[in-house]
Amino acid sequence: MAFAAATSIATIGLYLSYGLPILIGLFCPETFNAMKGPFNLKGLSRPIAAAACLWIAFITVVFCLPALNPVTSQTLNYTVVAVGIITAFAVGSWLLWAHRWFTGPAAEVAEAMRLGVDVTEPGALEEKMKDQSQRGEKKKPETMSD
């Protein structure tokens, strides 16, 4: 039973971590349309996102069901309790302090766009920042000697 609960918790967590951005994109498409990558589903994006969210809701319920009948304290699936505790901790930490300092990936995307970096290319922003810091270090000794 412990293995089943552990795999249920991991599976639900994985599905929810992928599902939340899909759900946000489904309800706030104007925000996500500006950040689409080189591949997108065009007109099928919203129906597929809706199907994905429905699947995630279904599979979350299924993984919370007990595996054996009759349900006793030994056969009860405690996945709901564990996921509830993790969710309460995550939401509580966001409300109490994380919302003050966490900016998310939007700040990095804005910085990449400001520098003229292709955000779809992995590592391009880091390369540009490294190049700029190296050029900045070379210029400092020249300005100090003048």
Q: Which tens digits make up the pLDDT trace of 76-133?
A: 888 889 999 999 999 999 999 998 888 777 777 777 878 888 877 788 878 888 888 8
Q: Rounded to the nearest 5°, which phi and psi values hold at 16?
A: -65, -35
Cα torsion 21, 24, 26, 28 to 10°: value is -140
- CB half-sphere exposure, 89, CA atoms < 13 A: 6
DSSP 8-state secondary structure symbol assigned to residue 71: -
16-33 residue pLDDT tens: 999 998 998 899 887 776
For residues 116 and 54, the model is more confident at 54
Establish whether the linkage from the previous residue to 70 is cis, with ω within 30° of 0. yes
Interval 32-52 mean pLDDT: 82
